[in-house]
């Protein structure tokens, strides 16, 4: 597939953009901790605002995206995100950066990410064809996992050498690079229907009804929401726990997070073969059930060997997520009509990323009231039970 110029440029855009995003995921909270002395509540809120903005504009954005060509929207979202992120290091170096500014950037950059991701997932079927979606998603999501490993590891080193503002600046530059690759994508994306359309609110409601009434899309979104609640409960307070409380240098945090990227890479790379062998639905719940004990080992993070016991459990948990993402995202794209793709993806993203935002707020609350370790245990509960929605659905035996 990489011999095809259009897909290759889309792939390169996703790769470089994903690398910068992972650097930013580490650099932004570390900037709040090291540069602005942020506490657990502030770091948790910063994590939540990056995704909670989806709740405000997610549904109308999906209907709006269905009315437009997707590639120009992706380019515009990249350019806007680059401009927002570039302000953060400038303000930090000028000594005028505040937590309020970081919160604002997190919200607006979250909106840009929403437009980009929904457009990209809606654009892919037209670019590669529905019969090649699993292979395309395996390659894209597998490379995204590689970016997890390299981006987060590099972020720990870069922040240690040049400071957290440099990491945020790199995120801005990679967004520009991503837009440059997308400009070179040439495809035969069909134009949106020009007939008279109902109001955005009516179309958005159609998308919600489609997802929630579909016998297999509904359990997919419930399973994803449970998993996405667990992720920020596991990770939002790690900069405070690992760097401030346990006293490890920033590069250890980068390595720990990169181990999760390795797990997602392994799951993404093997998803096509596992799905063909067992069936996609069966593979999702069986692998989730087998790997469930890893969820309760992640909160054991501590000094000495315990940080690596937790890292190994984190690898297993993200392996499951990588496999699920490839199989279930491809299924979502295959069963949804072209004219509904933007709304389906926006509805999914609203619920899934909204769950990430709620998880970040929950991490802030639990961490502030009962301690950071309690937040990890709360994430373990959601992660351990997230196989159940698929098991009790028609996807259980889907081949």
pLDDT digits (tens, 9 = 90+) for 198-220: 777 788 888 889 988 888 888 88
Query: What is the reported pLDDT for 76?
Result: 92
Q: Does residue 251 have a pLDDT over 80? A: no
- Between CA 289 and CA 30 the distance in angstroms is 34
Half-sphere exposure of 260 (CA within 13 A, CB side): 21
Tokens 């997802």, residue located: 211
What's the whole-model pTM score?
Answer: 0.71
Q: Does residue 195 have a pLDDT over 60? A: no
- Between CA 74 and CA 187 the distance in angstroms is 14
Q: Is the dihedral of CA 390, 331, 60, 107 positive or negative?
A: positive
- For residue 54, report the phi and psi dihedrals to the nearest 5 degrees: -60, -35
Tokens 């401009």, residue located: 83
Q: Does residue 197 have a pLDDT over 70? A: no
Relative orientation angle of helices 133-162 and 250-278, to the nearest 10 degrees: 170
- Between CA 79 and CA 77 the distance in angstroms is 6
Buried b (16+ CB within 10 A) or exposed e, 371-390: ebbebbbbbbebbbbbbbbb
- Between CA 209 and CA 226 the distance in angstroms is 20
DSSP 244: I
CATH of domain 5-183+214-397: 1.20.1250.20
Tokens 């959601």, residue located: 382
pLDDT tens-digit readout, 109-158: 888 888 888 888 888 888 887 778 878 888 888 787 777 667 766 777 78
Residues in the chain: 399
Radius of gyration over alpha carbons of the chain, in Å? 20
User: Which stretch, 246-260, 277-291, 358-372, has highest mean pLDDT?
Assistant: 358-372
Q: Average pLDDT of 223-229?
A: 88
DSSP 394: G
Query: What is the reported pLDDT for 82?
Result: 92
């Amino acid at each position: 597939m990489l011999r095809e110029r259009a897909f290759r440029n889309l792939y390169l855009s996703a790769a470089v953009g994903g690398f910068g995003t992972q650097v930013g995921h580490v650099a932004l909270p570390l900037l709040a901790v090291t540069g602005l002395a942020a506490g657990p509540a502030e770091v948790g809120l910063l994590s939540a605002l990056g995704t909670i903005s989806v709740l405000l504009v997610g549904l109308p954005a999906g209907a709006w995206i269905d009315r437009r060509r997707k590639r120009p929207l992706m380019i515009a979202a990249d350019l806007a995100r680059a401009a927002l992120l570039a302000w953060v290091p400038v303000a930090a170096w000028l000594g005028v950066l505040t937590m309020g500014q970081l919160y604002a950037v997190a919200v607006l950059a979250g909106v840009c990410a929403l437009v980009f991701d929904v457009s990209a997932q809606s654009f892919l079927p037209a670019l590669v064809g529905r019969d090649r979606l699993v292979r395309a998603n395996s390659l894209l999501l597998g490379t995204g996992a590689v970016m997890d490993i390299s981006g987060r590891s590099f972020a720990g080193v870069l922040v240690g050498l040049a400071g957290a503002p440099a990491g945020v600046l790199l995120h801005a530059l990679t967004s520009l690079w991503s837009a440059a690759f997308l400009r070179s994508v040439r495809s035969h994306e069909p134009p949106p229907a020009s007939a008279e359309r109902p109001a955005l609110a009516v179309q958005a409601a159609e998308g919600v009804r489609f997802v929630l009434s579909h016998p297999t899309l509904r359990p997919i979104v419930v399973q994803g929401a449970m998993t996405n609640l667990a992720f920020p409960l596991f990770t939002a307070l790690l900069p405070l726990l690992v760097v401030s409380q346990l006293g490890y240098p920033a590069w250890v945090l980068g390595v720990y997070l990169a181990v999760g990227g390795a797990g997602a890479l392994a799951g993404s790379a093997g998803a096509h073969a596992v799905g063909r062998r067992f069936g996609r639905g069966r593979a999702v719940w069986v692998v989730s059930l087998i790997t469930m004990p890893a969820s309760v080992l992640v909160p054991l993070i501590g000094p000495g060997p315990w940080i690596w016991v937790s890292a190994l459990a984190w690898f297993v948990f993200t392996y499951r997520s990588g496999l699920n993402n490839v199989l279930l995202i491809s299924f979502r794209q295959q069963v949804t009509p072209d004219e509904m793709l933007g709304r389906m993806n926006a509805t999914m993203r609203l619920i899934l990323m909204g769950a990430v935002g709620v998880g970040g707020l929950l991490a802030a609350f639990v961490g502030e009231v009962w301690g950071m370790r309690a937040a990890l245990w709360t994430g373990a509960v959601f992660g351990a039970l997230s196989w159940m929605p698929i098991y009790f659905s028609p996807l259980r035996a889907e081949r």
